[in-house]
Amino acid sequence: MKIRILILGILVAVFLISSHLKGQGPQTRTKLIKEVFHTYTQEEGVHNAFFQIESAKLEINESFVFGAFKNGNKVTSNTPFYTASIGKTFTAAAIAQLVDAGKLGFNDRVVDYLGDMISGLHVINEQDYTNELKIHHLLNHTSGLADYFEDKPEGAQ
């Protein structure tokens, strides 16, 4: 729950100060966002955090990290984090933006974009259904694909 509060707090803070940021140079923007990030991580008692912001309008592309692990290793911008279901929200938003821009459609076949990369992805009883998967199937979780973490295939790493 703390991570959701942290994310929400940072997003609200960024939106509230965005009009102020437009009048500032890139270094000032970066400094201000870093201060907000560290304030929220400390106030909420967050142990480890990573925040990436990229905006062409604001001329900023920065990563902010905070924390260390029990073994003393510090969190870096290359530290992997298990993001769980939050990725679904970002993916759905990105797909919706691409649909709005006319770059793809919800009824488009996934194979038309990923090609051979997903060959044999959806085989049931020796029948390959990969070519029938559509973007809306993935977004609505109606593709029939197994949960990789819960139903990990044999030999998968």
Q: Inform me whether the pLDDT recorded for 63 exceeds 50.
A: yes
Distance (Å, whole) CA 112 – CA 134: 9
Structural contact between residues 93 and 82, judged by C-beta atoms closer than 8 angstroms = no
pLDDT at residue 99, as a whole number: 96
pLDDT at residue 79, as a whole number: 85
Distance (Å, whole) CA 103 – CA 98: 5
- DSSP annotation of 131 reads G
Q: pTM score, two decimals? A: 0.54
Name residue 67's amino acid: G
Q: Inform me whether the pLDDT recorded for 154 exceeds 70.
A: no
What is the per-residue pLDDT across 84-97, written as a single tens digit (0 to 9) for each?
A: 778 888 889 999 99
pLDDT at residue 157, as a whole number: 47
pLDDT at residue 100, as a whole number: 96
The mean pLDDT of the chain is 79
